[in-house]
Structure 1
């Protein structure tokens, strides 16, 4: 793509980066076929190619963000399916971040939009506040139809996504180290997360148990908190950078002690962001190099386990598992085969969901701020899953689990919960009725040494 930025415009690091990215686009349009919003809406302006043209025009002309541009940028899910498809390697991920930052600085949102976004950034990344908010959700759920009539679909979506019952308390809470009782074979840092540890703390519990059986220490660093993804996705880069710095400081202290094999993320939306810390903090002199180290050490939990011997499963199952590939995992991190491979090794029958490349509509807070499009994508994805008639659905992201859980009759759990169950852990919440379809694998009474002669 030919660009016409003035030399003085290119003094702005954001514009310079945008220009570099824009010049790689060849207008081929391959991205339109795999863009969820274009598939649903059929509007070129709601395709990656259309947004690229709009971003180019806005930045080249130095225009303040107008609704006719920001509306279509806001509808982008940041699923990055377009990047997987693009033959030219257009870095759409960072281009749309530049655009959102520009919109946040120069655009004008309604009071309602500003209040909703402010509430989300002040509640979701803070577990204690989020727990209190969930306690009020049952009352709000009764008011959902009224909220829609009053033109507050975002608030209606918010309360409807909240769990029907208060989530359980996690077994492993707060900072500390979970150490195996046997031989220690490794040491990892785990991001406890913010929304996930409130909505389904069993995911962290399952991760820690599975690692402990394999002899791996799991460290939850004191001071580590939200990864910053939520703020970054709505253009509030300063908040995202501040959150990233907090984690870099906390994890750098642990890494300095030595013996850390990886930073483990079991929420793929967070994983995509943490793996990008090197880019996010590249202009921060005191953090740039450490952020690169953090990014290079970060792995999705299935990415790590695929390269680590956790032993043979202790429980075998005939359950059919529909594996839902979270966009942040398959497109953002390019982790595609590892989750399914691990599930198959654990004895499950894994089913591939049709149109697996398309987003379910969760996308961070997208299902709250864009509820209509998110609902259409959710129903489309749920329809494909139902066509498989699975016993259970597995996913690697709490956002997808929450989103699809409102549209499926079968239970949906995190991949790591199924792996933990197969390797000796408790039945995941919601799967109690399926426990009878699993069988314990007979364990040998003799040890290897019993078969070795003198």
Structure 2
């Protein structure tokens, strides 16, 4: 796609990156066939090709409008389009650039700004955990819309006390410890059973995705640098072999620290190292499954697996979870219809675009429930919480399923 950048963008890092991405796009339209919002709305501007054209216009100096902003806001950043693009267009990076430019040019209504500020400050705050605990204590009294955002309280279970020669860092996350604390402890127990010790750096916090995708790029990058600083002493000394992620939304972000901080002379090299060390929990299954198999007593019942977009499209990891859980004895099935489509969670999207989000959730649950599962499992806290808000069937992280199936060591 031929592009002529406006002078204000011509010699900026963002402008050069956007131009390189735009020039790869051949406008073929393959992306529209797998775009969730295009499927729902049928509007060219609510598909990747249309949004690419809108971003191109702004970069070439045409005025950004509230309509431009709306169509970019409606994008889930699910990156399904990247999986189907024959030209390798890095749409996710382009839409991040385009949204930030439009954000700086188009003022939002005060209530919209207030909501976005609350999300980026509240979800990453130390006050989130006590607020969630309070919400869970009065959950039965909450209005339906708020109740959907407050999962039932569940115990975390014991953290393993053994030490191992093999050690891996793990990001606890910002919302996961409060909303579903058992995911982290189940991860630690499963890896402990495989002879791997999970280490959490206390000063590591939010991965940076929430702020970054709400167009606070500086705030998001500050959180990325803080995490690198928290992990670096153990990484530099070679004390850990990987940084394991059990939330695929965090994982795809940390895997891109090297890209996001490539122009930061103080952090570029460190960020690239952190990205190279990052592994989704599912990537460890080929290594640990043989060790775990003698201890796994898989429970009866069919389990439906929902692969998060951040795993299958963002990190390009497909098929691993279901393959290895089946090898361990679980009856895991994936919905044959639209398994590639987003469930509608997409970070803060379910709050900012609730109508579209819940339509996608119900569409996804319709396909999953056709399998008549005893449980639904996924690999990202956002997907799990969002799907559970509309499901009578329990929705959990797959590692919790594996943890419960482990018989005590002899």
TM-score bracket, normalised by the shorter chain, equals over 0.9
* Secondary structure at the counterpart of residue 23 of structure 1: helix
Contact 1:264 1:298 in 2 (8 A): yes
Moved more, 81-90 or 299-308: 299-308
Contact 1:318 1:347 in 2 (8 A): no
Residue of structure 1 equivalent to 2:111: 112
- Where in structure 2 are the equivalents of 1:199-214 lying within 5 Å? 199-214=179-194
Shift of residue 406 of structure 1? Answer: 1.5
Quick check: 1:300 aligned with 2:293? Answer: no
Quick check: 1:162 aligned with 2:150? Answer: yes
Residue of structure 2 equivalent to 1:409: 392
Query: How far apart, CA to CA, are the structure 2 residues paired with 1:414 and 1:291?
Result: 28
Residue of structure 2 equivalent to 1:310: 291
328, 343, 346: which is aligned to 1:363? 346
Query: How far apart, CA to CA, are the structure 1 residues paired with 2:62 and 2:265?
Result: 28
Query: How far apart, CA to CA, are the structure 2 residues paired with 1:143 and 1:203?
Result: 25
Residue of structure 1 equivalent to 2:407: 424
Question: What are the Cα deviations for residues 364-421 of structure 1, in whole angstroms up to 9, with x where unaligned?
Answer: 0100000000010001001001111011111000111101101211111101111112
Contact 2:6 2:61 in 1 (8 A): no
Query: How far apart, CA to CA, are the structure 2 residues paired with 1:136 and 1:210?
Result: 30
164, 167, 170: which is aligned to 1:190? 170
302, 308, 312: which is aligned to 1:330? 312
Residue of structure 1 equivalent to 2:265: 285
Residue of structure 2 equivalent to 1:152: none
Residue of structure 1 equivalent to 2:207: 227
Gap runs ≥5 in structure 1 = 145-155, 173-177, 426-442, 446-454
Query: How far apart, CA to CA, are the structure 2 residues paired with 1:268 and 1:128?
Result: 24
* Secondary structure at the counterpart of residue 331 of structure 1: helix
Query: How far apart, CA to CA, are the structure 1 residues paired with 2:343 and 2:203?
Result: 32
317, 322, 325: which is aligned to 1:340? 322
Question: Does the C-alpha gap of structure 1 residues 167 and 401 become closer, same or farther in structure 2, counting only changes over 3 Å?
Answer: same
* Secondary structure at the counterpart of residue 27 of structure 2: coil
Structure 1 segments, 4+ long, off by >6 Å, are: 137-141
374, 379, 401: which is aligned to 1:391? 374
Residue of structure 2 equivalent to 1:128: 127
Quick check: 1:372 aligned with 2:359? Answer: no
Contact 1:138 1:159 in 2 (8 A): no
- Where in structure 2 are the equivalents of 1:52-91 lying within 5 Å? 52-61=52-61, 63=63, 65-91=64-90
Residue of structure 2 equivalent to 1:147: none
Quick check: 1:245 aligned with 2:225? Answer: yes
* Secondary structure at the counterpart of residue 407 of structure 2: coil
Query: How far apart, CA to CA, are the structure 2 residues paired with 1:158 and 1:248?
Result: 34
Shift of residue 224 of structure 1? Answer: 0.5
* Secondary structure at the counterpart of residue 333 of structure 2: strand
Residue of structure 1 equivalent to 2:22: 22
Gap runs ≥5 in structure 2 = none
Question: Does the C-alpha gap of structure 1 residues 117 and 7 become closer, same or farther in structure 2, counting only changes over 3 Å?
Answer: closer
Contact 1:277 1:294 in 2 (8 A): yes
Query: How far apart, CA to CA, are the structure 2 residues paired with 1:253 and 1:78?
Result: 33
* Secondary structure at the counterpart of residue 112 of structure 1: helix
Query: How far apart, CA to CA, are the structure 2 residues paired with 1:141 and 1:209?
Result: 32
Q: Kindly tell me the number of residue pairs found equivalent between the two proteins.
A: 407
Query: How far apart, CA to CA, are the structure 2 residues paired with 1:417 and 1:226?
Result: 22
Calculate the TM-score normalised by the size of structure 2.
Answer: 0.94
Query: How far apart, CA to CA, are the structure 2 residues paired with 1:168 and 1:258?
Result: 33
Contact 1:25 1:90 in 2 (8 A): yes
Q: Which has the larger radius of gyration?
A: 1
Shift of residue 136 of structure 1? Answer: 4.2
Calculate the TM-score normalised by the size of structure 1.
Answer: 0.85
Query: How far apart, CA to CA, are the structure 1 residues paired with 2:243 and 2:82?
Result: 25
Query: How far apart, CA to CA, are the structure 2 residues paired with 1:36 and 1:350?
Result: 25
Query: How far apart, CA to CA, are the structure 2 residues paired with 1:37 and 1:141?
Result: 33
Shift of residue 171 of structure 1? Answer: 4.0
* Secondary structure at the counterpart of residue 202 of structure 2: coil
* Secondary structure at the counterpart of residue 148 of structure 2: helix
RMSD of aligned residue pairs (Cα, Å): 2.0
* Secondary structure at the counterpart of residue 125 of structure 1: coil
Query: How far apart, CA to CA, are the structure 1 residues paired with 2:220 and 2:403?
Result: 32
Question: Does the C-alpha gap of structure 1 residues 257 and 138 become closer, same or farther in structure 2, counting only changes over 3 Å?
Answer: same
